[in-house]
Chain A
Amino acid sequence: MVWVSDIIQGILVGGLYALFACGLSLLFGVMKVVNLAHGDLAVVGAYIGIGVIAVTHMPFLWSIPVVCLLMAVLGYVLQRSLIQSALNRGELTTLIVTFGLSIVIENGLQQFFTANTRGIGVGSSLLTASFKLNSQIQIGWLPVIIFVAAVIVLLVLQYFLSASKYGRLIRAVADDREAALLSGVNARHVFGVAAAVAFATVGLAGVAYGMASTVTPFTGTQTILLFAFAAVVIGGLGSLWGTLLGGIVLGVAQEVGAQINISYEQLAGYVIFLAVLVLRPQGLTARRSQS
């Protein structure tokens, strides 16, 4: 029974990992940017949430739209300035620039907010609220809410990319930039919008992480970026639903690993990641990689 409970917990955590991963996946899919600062930006989102709540005393739920909006603006600005000028100079440059950004953000957060762990208080009633499936399996409401939110975000993202006007523009620019430019599309603006959307999901993921757990300035590089990347690789590059599957596999592996021995938690996740890399480099969802 304890295993069933672990698997359910793992699935629920997987939703959060998918939320982290979809921003990474989106930026790579649209502009071939592998954003090494992804995890740190999620932590920035969490800190914005903590700061906004501390200053305005607003209910924690209200902080979510504020964080998403601020992160979207940050994404647009960052894309139009740093990332775009790095993109113009080639792929290695974007890697170096985003890696530099990651280190600068991480150490900057440490200077201003110290290395203490912080969390977003959701109130003890929600943090401990749970329901029972049977006498042995107890599931917290907060992980369920985060999982549902992640699935909704993926659905909205899927709809946005496939059916909305901007989604079509984004896909057009991603598929063939020159052709899109010839048709009069302002590719830079479209890239900016895509980055804004990706950053909004990153911000949401950061806030969700801050609620479910705690963050330090180093959470971004030590866990979030690596988990997001592992979820992307396990699920298969360039597929949103593959990302959810990848997140779930990663989450289940971690929970089961932790059940065997608490020190195996993260290692188990990475072992699965490496196994997928060896046995099935195209990811679990059998689509051909789009890179």
Chain B
Amino acid sequence: MTITGESTLLPRVARRVTRSRRNVWWTGIVALVIVVVFAILPYQVYSGTTAILGQAFVILTLACMWNLLAGYAGLVSVGQQMFLGLGAYFVLIGAIHGIDPFVALPLAAIASGVAALPLWWLVSRLRTGYFAIGTWVLATAVALFVQQFQSIGGGSGMALPGLSSFGSTLLSAYTYWAGLVVTVLALGATYLLLRSRVGLVLTAIRDDEKAARSSGARVDLARMLVFVVAAVGCAAAGGVLAIQQLGVSPSSGGDFDVLWTAKMAFAVIIGGIGTIEGPIIGTIIYMVLQQTLQQYNEWYLIVLGVVAIAITLFARRGIWGLVDEHLGVRLFPVGYYLWPSGGRPVKKTAKQSG
């Protein structure tokens, strides 16, 4: 709105609109190089390192999805472990029926996306806070439902069949690559989604939901889309997790544990909610804390929780928000800059004020 207001005040000069303040070709190339480096890592390092990176891929994928939900669509879901668990269990079901777990992985993600539609119909009746607990209850109900079937492990979980044909080195490399592919797809999908028309609606919801609604943005449709996309992403992460853990577990500490949502949420909040870069920064911090404090049991979660609360209260846009504020850097340009001819950019449409 301020754009039209201001542009009438600006002198009538030729202007151009760009996605970024600087040329972003180099960021694209750097991103490609990073992905290639990550892809050839299994040839270079011990499998212990790739296993840790595998954990980071799962957290990063989950964080990307939670960021879409809470950071853009205004949906604070505390039930994303439901899709993580569904993804893991769909991979198991596929494997039981003789499908290679790595082939079952994309199928499981799609199946979870389909399952997300009726689940969305249920929880979309609830608003904000009640949506949060509602998704949590739904996740618990889904976990209890899954445990009723003895053929997929009942209450005690089950080992994933179909992995024994791989040698251990090959299996850990394949698992790592599967995690990498899922993560790159999750980041890419988030980026493309936010650059699309839907992304514009989502950014509008993030900044002011009432204004978005009254301007005719199809808020509910965009929300449903994000819920389904997040379900697919979390399910893919859950499938990767099932392959990493060589099985599924429905109980406390397993695939349906609410701690998964805590981990993804903390990574997003610390890194910077409502930015694409935030989940990446947050995942790095999460992994560093988890690795350094791992001999002290769950203390890393307590530290992460306290830091997340402090950041929410005192630096709402997280660590990346601070970087962006002071340096104006975007690794993933999803907004617009308006340039008067030859000058500095005057305004970004997707203004990220807290």
Chain A residues engaging chain B, CB cutoff 8 angstroms:
28, 32-34, 36, 82, 85-86, 89, 91-97, 99-101, 103-104, 107-108, 110-111, 218, 221-222, 225-226, 229-230, 233, 237, 263, 266-267, 270-271, 273-274, 277-278, 281, 291
A107-B308 in contact (CB<8A):
no
* A–B Cβ pairs within 8 angstroms, 8 of them: A34-B132, A95-B76, A111-B297, A111-B298, A229-B130, A237-B130, A263-B147, A267-B145
Q: Which residue of A lies closest to B308 (CB)?
A: A100
Chain A residues with CB under 8 A of B305: 100-101, 103-104, 107
State how many angstroms separate the Cβ of A123 from the closest Cβ of chain B.
Answer: 31
Q: Which residue of A lies closest to B144 (CB)?
A: A267
B262-A263 in contact (CB<8A):
no
Chain A residues with CB under 8 A of B76: 92, 95-96, 99
State how many angstroms separate the Cβ of B279 from the closest Cβ of chain A.
Answer: 15
A97-B298 in contact (CB<8A):
no
Task: Name the one of A101, A218, A277 contacting B252, with C-beta atoms under 8 angstroms.
Answer: A218
State how many angstroms separate the Cβ of B304 from the closest Cβ of chain A.
Answer: 8
A91-B128 in contact (CB<8A):
yes
Known: A95-B76, A111-B299. A28 touches B312 (CB 8 A): no
Instruction: Give the dominant DSSP class at A's interface.
Output: helix
Known: A104-B309, A274-B141. 9 other contacts (CB 8 A): A34-B129, A92-B128, A93-B316, A104-B305, A222-B140, A263-B148, A266-B140, A266-B144, A278-B122
Chain B residues with CB under 8 A of A82: 309, 313
Known: A111-B297, A267-B148. A85 touches B122 (CB 8 A): no
Chain A residues with CB under 8 A of B70: 92, 96
Task: Name the one of A34, A96, A222 contacting B269, with C-beta atoms under 8 angstroms.
Answer: A96
Task: Name the one of B126, B132, B302 contacting A99, with C-beta atoms under 8 angstroms.
Answer: B132
Known: A104-B302, A267-B148. A36 touches B132 (CB 8 A): yes
CA distance A62 to B127 in the complex (A): 40
State how many angstroms separate the Cβ of B151 from the closest Cβ of chain A.
Answer: 15
Chain B residues with CB under 8 A of A225: 133, 136
CA distance A157 to B76 in the complex (A): 31
A89-B316 in contact (CB<8A):
yes
Task: Name the one of B147, B258, B312 contacting A100, with C-beta atoms under 8 angstroms.
Answer: B312
A273-B262 in contact (CB<8A):
no
CA distance A222 to B126 in the complex (A): 20
Tell me, yes or no, whether B54 is within 8 Å of chain A by CB.
no
CA distance A270 to B142 in the complex (A): 10
State how many angstroms separate the Cβ of B166 from the closest Cβ of chain A.
Answer: 35
State how many angstroms separate the Cβ of B208 from the closest Cβ of chain A.
Answer: 11
A97-B129 in contact (CB<8A):
no
A270-B144 in contact (CB<8A):
yes
Chain B residues with CB under 8 A of A107: 298-299, 301-302, 305
CA distance A82 to B312 in the complex (A): 11
Chain B residues with CB under 8 A of A95: 76, 128-129, 132
Chain B residues with CB under 8 A of A94: 129
Chain A residues with CB under 8 A of B136: 225-226, 229
Q: Which of B118-173 contact A (CB under 8 A)?
A: 122, 125-130, 132-134, 136-138, 140-141, 144-145, 147-148, 155
